[in-house]
Amino acid sequence: MWERLGFSENPYDTKPLNVSNEDVELLIGRENEQIEFLTAVETSNQGVFVLSGVPGVGKTSFFNIQQYLLESQEALFGPKILAARKLCPVQTGDEPIHIIKRCIQFYCKNIESYCLMTKQDIPKQTQEVLNWIYQNKPVTFSFGLSVMGNGGSFGREVHLPKLNETTFETLVELLTVLSQETVDKLGFKSSFIVLDNVENWHTEDLNDCLTAFRDTLFMIPNIWWVLIGQSGLPSLIQSSNPKVFQRLTSNIELLPITIDNLIKAVDLRVSRFHIVKTGTSPITKDIYLKLFKSSNGEIRFVFKYCHDICVNLVQTVRKDLVEEKKAINSQNFEKLMGTFLVKNQINDSFSNNSLKEIITKEFDGLYLSQEEKQTLKIIGEKQKIKPNDYLEFKSVGIKTMQEFTKKYLTKLNDQYLLLRRQKGKIITYELRGISVFALEFELLD
């Protein structure tokens, strides 16, 4: 389809940037955050770093590029750190032992991926752990540790049961051995292990797990733990668990990039994937700005709906050709498509009509109750509310803050209709993405 618009690939791909050289130039507008991050990981061979921001702001993309630069030693400065090509997802209800099992599995896969990429043998103990995981049966494992300074080593044999039957303490020791082997055999200063989507933990679970990690996982030498979560995560940790917050090495709250940097990011993608190097973006700057504002600077949202507008254009042209009983060939397609373009860009009238059609269909597909729509409308009119503003929602039958939070705020946030912001223990909600357009298109009446 993209060839019809003059591209070899989709310039609006919403997937995060990869840990790769070819994606480095696609990260725009993060120079200050990059220096902060590189400086933080330069301070020690281990630590805990929190990376937070609103959904879709580009947290994973930012982190992946920093990983590539450090691992390849192409960063402006900083140590050589093994990249986490597989991030360890946090799931609701996870206990500490669930997390460390998943971390060991993903850590071994990251070591394996690096060795395959660089055509090196997988270190012995890493391979033994991989075999143990894959075969899921008891093994006798040799905990061999290098003796710093003289090149010697010592070790002991330990009988490991199946992965699911191994104790938390043994798993911590196992991860310690693997991290040291990565230093000794592969030449890294340390490794990244990433806990992703930390917001999936309820506050109590977050406290329990971070307390358990504070004197165990977070103390393992040669590992940088990176916690990725939604906006306000550092302040939540600080207010609810000060002792854990004191163990954090540093944190960055990624703010949305500017609209100018968004345009630069798009231009780079257009330049890379356009069949003609002087080609232009099919979407105008006015449409970018409209999408950007409605999503609070969410890059992923902007790209998704730019993609959808382009798809809608191709579908429209093909349907019109069928209705006119004309062949869907290049000549007819390009001639008809030209009627929707102004200076090789999709005219704003078509883009706005497409947005209304696409978002109306998506919004209707959520099957919201009239009370839920009314709640969104009130929030939109007030621009921002807190859970204790529940008295403002008597018209939808709200009687308590607990009912308001559980029945409306949490549900609508989970449906990506609200943006939840947290600063310490203060939580606010505002319309997000398609709910902003739903208010504009009068879909909430």
Could you tell me if 83 and 202 lie in one domain? yes
Structure tokens at 400: 């308590």
45 part of a folded domain: yes
Asked if 60 and 27 touch (Cβ cutoff 8 Å), the reply is no
23 part of a folded domain: no
Could you tell me if 42 and 99 lie in one domain? yes
d(CA 373, CA 162) in angstroms, rounded, equals 50
d(CA 34, CA 50) in angstroms, rounded, equals 14
**Three-state secondary-structure class, residue 350:** helix
pTM here is 0.85
| Adjacent-strand bridge partners of 136 | none
One pLDDT digit (tens) per residue for the chain, 445 residues: 788 777 888 888 889 999 999 999 999 989 999 999 999 999 999 999 999 998 888 999 999 999 999 999 999 999 999 999 999 999 888 888 999 999 999 999 999 999 999 999 999 889 989 988 888 777 777 765 543 444 444 467 777 888 888 889 989 989 999 999 999 999 999 999 999 988 888 888 888 888 999 989 999 999 999 999 988 888 888 887 888 888 889 999 999 888 888 888 888 888 888 887 777 888 988 998 899 888 888 888 899 999 999 999 889 988 988 988 888 888 888 888 888 888 888 899 999 999 999 999 999 999 999 999 999 999 999 999 999 988 888 888 888 898 899 889 988 988 889 988 877 778 899 998 899 999 999 999 8
Angle in degrees, CA 62, 67, 70, rounded to 5: 125
265 part of a folded domain: yes
The domain that holds 375 is classified in CATH as: 1.10.10.10
Could you tell me if 297 and 279 lie in one domain? yes
Boundary of a domain, candidates 364, 391, 421: 364
Could you tell me if 45 and 79 lie in one domain? yes
d(CA 213, CA 372) in angstroms, rounded, equals 39
Dihedrals φ, ψ of 428, to 5°? -130, 160
230 part of a folded domain: yes
Boundary of a domain, candidates 338, 364, 390: 364
Nearest 10 degrees: CA dihedral of 41, 252, 216, 162? -100
The domain that holds 197 is classified in CATH as: 3.40.50.300
Could you tell me if 343 and 381 lie in one domain? no
- Per the structure, the complete domain to which residue 302 belongs is given by 2-13+258-364
d(CA 402, CA 55) in angstroms, rounded, equals 25
Could you tell me if 67 and 148 lie in one domain? yes
Amino acid letter, residue 364: D
Could you tell me if 58 and 89 lie in one domain? yes
387 part of a folded domain: yes
pLDDT value at residue 341: 82
**Three-state secondary-structure class, residue 254:** strand
35 part of a folded domain: yes
Boundary of a domain, candidates 348, 364, 380: 364
Structure tokens at 305: 């709906």
Could you tell me if 7 and 66 lie in one domain? no
Could you tell me if 327 and 198 lie in one domain? no
Name the residue with tokens 């040669």. Answer: 222
Please, how many CA atoms are within 13 Å of residue 419, restricted to the half-sphere of its CB?
A: 25
Could you tell me if 401 and 301 lie in one domain? no
Domain count, the chain: 3
Residues with Cβ < 8 Å from 419, sequence gap 6 or more?
Answer: 54, 55, 296, 413, 429, 430, 431, 432
Structure tokens at 389: 């503003």
445 part of a folded domain: no
Could you tell me if 75 and 130 lie in one domain? yes
Please, how many CA atoms are within 13 Å of residue 277, restricted to the half-sphere of its CB?
A: 0
Asked if 182 and 151 touch (Cβ cutoff 8 Å), the reply is no
Cα 330 to its chain centre, rounded Å, is 38
Could you tell me if 105 and 245 lie in one domain? yes
19 part of a folded domain: no
Helix (H) or strand (E) holding 226: strand 223-230
Residues with Cβ < 8 Å from 195, sequence gap 6 or more?
Answer: 87, 88, 90, 99, 103, 225, 226, 227, 228
pLDDT value at residue 191: 97
pLDDT value at residue 146: 47
